[in-house]
Structure 1
Amino acid sequence: MSRKDTVEALFTGRLGAPNAPSPVERAERVRTGAISAMGASLAQFSENAKTVARLQDQISSGDRVLEIDPADVDASLVSDRLMIEVDPTFEALVVSMAESGQQVPILVRPHPTEAGRYQAAYGHRRLRAASRLKIKVQAVVRPLSDADLVVAQGKENLERRDLSFIERAWFARRLEDRGFDRSVVITALSCDKADVSRYVAMARAIPEIIAISIGPAPKAGRARWAELAEKLQHADAVATAEAVIRQTEFLSLDSDQRFASLLEALRPSVEHKKTQEMWVAKDGRKVARVQRGAERVVLAFDEKVAPAFGDYVLRQLDALLAAYEGSTETGARDSKR
């Protein structure tokens, strides 16, 4: 039996039984009605097939796999994941590695500035799992340029565990912020120039603290993230979001639940703000738009209707505040405190 056949046999169950049905063939005959369980099984079969392909590539290329202390491996130049504390898939990886070992080596390069250390190109989750289990991590070591490293990182992660929409967006932005050429970003994400522009624009519309707190949210696609980005443009929306993401209840949710929870929390306040008042002058001109929020009132003057009136009001603010604080209305308000 060839080495290729031996590797395939590890995952298909056909070693010594060439005519035996594979797990996929057997699974096709099973009808349990448990849709989620079937989906998980098929996903595992697909992952096993990818694992076989990677092992074959590494065997054919002659790469030597080393065992390295996870403490000696630093993260990549650019993070491509948004990780949160509640991550069932990572916990499942830890269990899998504890029971079956590490199936696919990670890729590292010699650290560019620190002798004796390494920098990961891909396999950060396996690296974290090995660190959690206090075991050596299996790694292929290759000399890589910065561009080679991020391209390998992007391609491997897209194939192995596809990045969610917002992870792609933040990976693109981080690459651009690090000064990588747009061509490198396109190659790393396997997309076109227009896609990169959309990714970067979305990442710049979502504050980093909010994106990191939500995490990858794999079920939320571009349309729902665009809805969230639009709502965050409203007055007080970012402050509201930051208050939500600090709540204990929010932190106990998984990533998709966090996204849904935050989006729902922003909807009432935003919908309220859509009902706007107009300040109409005595002659019928609609001079200003008034938006009322829980913590502030926003007055927006129409420069076409009343040119420079906004500047005039700004110059009168000190006098208006002094008049207000000396008014009977202020005294009545203070007496109620």
Structure 2
Amino acid sequence: MNQKKRLSAIMGAPVQADAPHQASPDASMGYAPVAGATAPSPAPEKRPAAARSMAAMWAASRPAPAEVDGAVVDLDPDLCLPSAIADRVPDVTDEAFDAFVAQIREEGQHTPILVRRHPRRDGQYEIAYGRRRTRAAKALGKPVRAVVRDLSDAELVVAQGSENLAREDLSYIERAHFARNMERAGIAREVILRAMGVHRPDLANYLAVAEAIPAPVLAAIGPAPKVGRPRWLTLADRIKAAAPGQVDIALAAPGLVGKTSDERFTMILNALAPPPPRRAKPRAETVKDARGVKFARVERSSDGMRVTLDEKAEPGFADYLAERLPEILAAYRQSKG
């Protein structure tokens, strides 16, 4: 289906097939002829070169049919650039993306992406949502189906948030990452709240987590889809308490290669775990009799007390003490009242 026929199906208005024709003055200004009216045979048009040049400039300045606002069109994925405010965290082990590409190869692209004409790059577009679909189309060497709309910066991020944050596969840290990126870009708090679909306390939590995780750590871990806010906060606390160089060592561990994003999170979290507390050595005391002879050794620890008797210094005293331990315990309890 050529471009005009495709637009005809989308807009519900008949469009003539591509054929040489003479444009009327009304058509050149964007007005459609009255239905059923018979147009007079056009006389040979004689216009000076300046007039023809101005007409050509006017025609060139008008949007191409493929860019009619709200229409579904095919675009070159190389011309569709990601939003300046990132919401996704890249993952080098995203196996789901390969399955996504295979699905589009077999079934086609069901849902168009949403773009606006790029505000700073002529002939290019900025993606509000649909970056994965654009990547898939590029990987397949196919055009990407898209809706082109005129969007302000605020409308772009609200559309981006409304679509992407409704997806189940957007992880907690990606939501926090999106909120932080909007704030750093100078987006008003009210717009961020609408884009995120959350209340102020929730937004404060997202921002706190995002600020607590350094960029190198986030890049090494990825989106970690199964990790929620409590474990990210635990990781943030361990990063703060880590010894100099400990974080760099954890990120450079060779065992991270080939692991999933969730597994990388767990490995880095464990690598930054504080060392177990060192158990204090038992305090040892030597017990002497009235003559200064050492007959017992007492060791105290957090678990209790150990008494070691020297049989050579006082033979038979160990048995005597063992037999009378119940009496000694009873006397102790009675002394306590």
Q: TM-score, normalised by structure 2?
A: 0.60
| Structure 1 CA distance for aligned equivalents of residues 175 and 278 of structure 2 | 35
Q: Does 1:149 align with 2:156?
A: yes
On the 8 A contact 1:245/1:251 being kept in 2, the answer is no
Q: Does 1:256 align with 2:262?
A: yes
> 1:241: Cα distance to partner?
2.8
| Structure 1 CA distance for aligned equivalents of residues 179 and 263 of structure 2 | 24
> 1:110: Cα distance to partner?
0.3
SS of aligned partner of 1:120: strand
On the 8 A contact 1:219/1:256 being kept in 2, the answer is yes
| Structure 2 CA distance for aligned equivalents of residues 265 and 247 of structure 1 | 9
> 1:113: Cα distance to partner?
1.2
| Structure 1 CA distance for aligned equivalents of residues 279 and 85 of structure 2 | 43
> 1:77: Cα distance to partner?
1.6
Distance 1:247 1:135, change over 3 A: farther
Q: TM-score, normalised by structure 1?
A: 0.60
SS of aligned partner of 1:76: coil
> 1:276: Cα distance to partner?
11
> 1:137: Cα distance to partner?
0.7
> 1:149: Cα distance to partner?
0.5
Q: In the alignment, residue 212 of structure 2 is paired with which amino acid? A: A
CA RMSD of aligned residues (A): 1.9
**Which structure 2 residues correspond to residues 308-323 of structure 1 after superposition, within 5 A?**
none
| Structure 2 CA distance for aligned equivalents of residues 258 and 119 of structure 1 | 32
> 1:184: Cα distance to partner?
1.0
| Structure 2 CA distance for aligned equivalents of residues 231 and 165 of structure 1 | 19
> 1:275: Cα distance to partner?
5.9
Q: In the alignment, residue 91 of structure 2 is paired with which amino acid? A: I
Q: Does 1:192 align with 2:179?
A: no
| Structure 2 CA distance for aligned equivalents of residues 156 and 232 of structure 1 | 33
Seq. identity, %: 43
On the 8 A contact 2:165/2:175 being kept in 1, the answer is no
SS of aligned partner of 1:159: coil
**Which structure 2 residues correspond to residues 232-311 of structure 1 after superposition, within 5 A?**
232-236=239-243, 239-267=245-273, 270-272=274-276
Runs of 5+ unmatched residues, structure 1: 1-61, 278-337
- The residue number in structure 2 matching 1:47 is none
Q: In the alignment, residue 241 of structure 1 is paired with which amino acid? A: V
- The residue number in structure 1 matching 2:31 is none
Which structure has the highest helix share of the two? 1
Count of residue pairs brought into register by the alignment = 212
2:188 to 173, 178, 181: 181
SS of aligned partner of 1:225: helix
Runs of 5+ unmatched residues, structure 2: 1-68, 281-337
| Structure 2 CA distance for aligned equivalents of residues 209 and 157 of structure 1 | 24
| Structure 2 CA distance for aligned equivalents of residues 223 and 234 of structure 1 | 17
